[in-house]
Structure 1
Amino acid sequence: MYKNTFKMVAGDTVIGRDLVLVGGQEELRQNIENRLSVNLGEWFLNIGLGLDYEAISGKGVTDKDIDFAIRECCLQDDRVKEVKEIKITRQAKERQAKIDILIIDKGQEEVWLKEVVDLG
């Protein structure tokens, strides 16, 4: 179910004496974080991958809109069984939202993520 991949921190590949690999739930968490950082349709090799930033940006966007877009993005990974909880904390001045996400993988294990999304 899980594979190994390069460890990334803040979008950069981690290099110690060699490339650092992650696997298991850490790999899944990292994969979801990467999906959430890509605008839907942006990556030409898979235009169905990413978060629909258009749906969550601008005036009149509700927490329900944000919740739906985040769930859709997380469920793009076949290893995700369900997105159990999404907590949205808006930061109006910065026009951002802090988002806490609880995912249940197909092995019934919990994976927690924390994201900051620009609401434009």
Structure 2
Amino acid sequence: MKALQVDHTGDIVMQNGQLQEVRGIDEIQQRFRQLLRTNKDEWFLDPEEGFDYSVIQGKNVNENDVQAALDDVADQMDEIESIENVNLDFDRSARKLTVFFVAVLADGDTFEIQEVL
């Protein structure tokens, strides 16, 4: 599969006046990041799409709830078999949660993600 490449802000990437594309594992990784950045029940065309941000809001974030929410995002993509090695880094003063994990694809390939939520 292929898609237009977007940068970390969600803007479409252009180089020398040409739209850039991503393919293969890079496209899967980009799509997964987009799902993480979409709050579940936010997009009216598919309210089930995205990450359940309610699990990371509040003072007592539960790692098991975050893992379940990540698994739910993985279930939204046929290419991803599982999420492993989840590590959470809370920066309470900045009110940020950084998640690190490995996504295992159905074909056995893997990729790592680090995302600030």
- Does the alignment reach a TM-score above 0.5? yes
2:55–2:62 Cα contact (<8 Å) kept: no
Separation (CA, whole Å) in 2 of partners of 1:70 and 1:86: 9
Equivalences for residues 1-80 of structure 1 within 5 A: 3-10=1-8, 11-16=10-15, 17-80=17-80
Equivalences for residues 82-97 of structure 1 within 5 A: 82-97=82-97
Aligned length: 115
What 5-or-longer segments of structure 2 have no aligned partner? none
Task: Give how far 1:13 is off.
Answer: 0.5
Aligned counterpart, 2:104 = 104
Separation (CA, whole Å) in 2 of partners of 1:74 and 1:97: 19
Aligned counterpart, 1:114 = 114
Question: What secondary structure does 2:19 align onto?
Answer: coil
Structure 1 consecutive aligned stretches of length 4 or more whose deviation exceeds 2 Å: none
The superposition leaves residues 70-106 of structure 1 with CA deviations (integer Å, 9 ceiling, x where unpaired) of 2211221111011122111111111211111200111
1:74–1:83 Cα contact (<8 Å) kept: yes
2:74–2:81 Cα contact (<8 Å) kept: no
2:102–2:110 Cα contact (<8 Å) kept: yes
Question: What secondary structure does 2:33 align onto?
Answer: helix
Separation (CA, whole Å) in 1 of partners of 2:84 and 2:75: 11
Task: Give how far 1:38 is off.
Answer: 0.4
What 5-or-longer segments of structure 1 have no aligned partner? none
Using structure 1 for the length normalisation, give the TM-score.
0.90
Using structure 2 for the length normalisation, give the TM-score.
0.92
Seq. identity, %: 24
